[in-house]
Amino acid sequence: MKRGIMDEINLKAEATKALEKAYSPYSKFKVGAAVLTESGNLFTGCNVENVSYGLSICAERTAITRAVANEGPGMKLREVYVANCNEHGVSIPCSPCGACRQFIAEFATPATRIHYTGENGDVTTSMSDLLPDGFTF
C-alpha cells in the first residue's frame, strides 16, 4: 500500500498495529513489523505460529514477503521497524532473530535502517551492524 515516505514514529505505530493481529497461542509473544521500501511503499506483517514450531513465520519475514509479492524481486528496503509485546502487553528488548537478519539482508542496502526495542529503549542500527559478515554472493 502506497503511503509515501514515513518517519520512524509512524513506522513504529504501524508495526505496533500489526502486532495486534499476531497469532501466537504458544509463545504468547506478539511481534509486528513495518517495512518501508525504496519505492516509498509500506508493508506490515505479524508473527504466525504453528503447533509445529518450525512452520511458524516471523513478522519481519511476513512483511518482507508481502513487499516482494507487491513490488517484485527488485524490491529494496529503506527501513524496517519491529515491535513486540509479551503476554502482559509489555514490550521487551528483542532484536530480529538470526533468520530474520539474513532475510532482511537479502533486500537491504547499505543505507537500510533497522529499528527494534533494546535494553534502553528503541535501537536504530544498520544492516552491517545487525548482521556483520552476513552471507552474500
Residues 103 and 82: their CA atoms lie apart, in Å, by 14
Residue position matching grid coordinates 528503541: 122
3-state secondary structure of 6: coil
Residue ranges of E strands in 1-137 = 30-37, 42-46, 77-85, 113-118, 121-126
Residues comprising the chain, all counted: 137
The one-letter amino acid code at 130 reads: L
Half-sphere exposure of 43 (CA within 13 A, CB side): 22
Residue labelled with grid coordinates 537478519: 101
- Of 8, 60, 71, 79, which one is the catalytic site residue? 60
Q: Is 60 designated active site? A: yes
For residue 115, give the amino acid letter.
Answer: H
Catalytic residue annotation? 60
